[in-house]
Amino acid sequence: MIVAIDGPAGAGKSTVARKLAERLGFSYLDTGAMYRALTWLAMQEGLPLGDGEPLGELARRSPVMFDEAGRVLIDGADVTSAIRQSRIDRMVPVVARHHEVREVMRERQRELGHRGDVVIEGRDIGTVVAPDAAVKVYLQADPQVRARRRQAERPDIGADALATDLRTRDESDRVRMQPAEDAELIDTTDLEVDDVVSRIEDLIRTRSLTTP
Ligand code: DC
């Protein structure tokens, strides 16, 4: 079974998806980390980020991997922490917008996502990567709350700069951020993580009961 969790930055996707996967005993796939790792490698190699073709080739040549402990690896490097810096936050939408990159990522995500029960988080999982997912959830939250949550994870940047970055990123990501028609929308602004996870578990239960 695939559970797709989409939504913008700071809506709570990672925390919720991780916890849900843990409770259900499913594996977990963070597709944002894949775009981040590719962006890190492209910057490391000094590739121009405005050019899709070489980035698509780089993505094909250097597939992102996840080890048992959930570490993110690309081209032999452990980039788990490096990809969470604000310089990567800023550049990743530039890389993610190229169709050459998205094609390679989509293939790889499908490959990684079709190995049993999995929770996949991203922006286009319910619409593009796994339109046949059994359960689709779209998380959203008030922009101020999203900025505050992100701030806790980004000590390297001030609150104003972070709010501006988040707005800019929303703008660039918008075309890929539409909820699937059959996604359940959950506003996490006033909800605790456990409440969101329980609601998704309920959805899965209902879904399993109604699907033969
Ligand atoms: O969820 P995140 O903040 O780690 O995602 C990083 C970036 O990758 C974000 O700007 C949008 C992009 N992304 C995407 O285009 N498609 C996905 N399935 C996941 C992330």
The pLDDT assigned to 211 comes to 63
Asked if residue 31 has its Cβ within 6 Å of ligand 1, the reply is yes
Interval between CA 205 and ligand 1 midpoint (Å):
28
The pLDDT assigned to 93 comes to 92
Q: What is the DSSP letter of 115?
A: S
Tell me the per-residue pLDDT of 141-200, one tens digit each, with 9 for 90 and over.
998 888 888 887 887 788 888 888 888 888 887 777 889 999 999 999 999 999 999 999
**Phi and psi for 139 in degrees, rounded to 5?**
-90, 140
Q: What is the DSSP string of 157-187?
A: S-HHHHHHHHHHHHHHHGGG-PPPTTPEEEE
Interval between CA 181 and ligand 1 midpoint (Å):
20
3-state secondary structure of 8: coil
How far apart (Å, rounded) are the C-alpha atoms in residues 171 and 8? Answer: 10
Domain 32-115 in CATH 3.40.50.410: no
Q: What single letter denotes the amino acid at residue 158?
A: G
Q: Of 104, 94, 106, give the one whose Cα is nearest residue 173.
A: 94
Q: What single letter denotes the amino acid at residue 26?
A: F
Tell me the per-residue pLDDT of 77-125, one tens digit each, with 9 for 90 and over.
999 999 999 899 999 999 999 999 999 999 999 999 887 899 999 999 9
Please give the number of the atom of ligand 1 that sits closest to the Cα of 6.
18
Interval between CA 209 and ligand 1 midpoint (Å):
32
Residue range(s) of every CATH 3.40.50.300 domain in the chain: 1-26+117-207, 32-115
How far apart (Å, rounded) are the C-alpha atoms in residues 99 and 18? Answer: 28
Ligand 1, atom 20: nearest CA belongs to which residue?
Answer: 32
Tell me the per-residue pLDDT of 3-32, one tens digit each, with 9 for 90 and over.
999 999 889 999 999 999 999 999 999 999
Asked if residue 84 has its Cβ within 6 Å of ligand 1, the reply is no
Q: What fold is seen in the domain 1-26+117-207?
A: Rossmann fold (3.40.50)
What's this model's pTM, rounded to 2 decimal places? 0.92
Ligand 1, atom 8: nearest CA belongs to which residue?
Answer: 32
pLDDT tier, 210 (very low <50, low <70, confident <90, very high otherwise): low
Structure tokens at 1: 């079974």
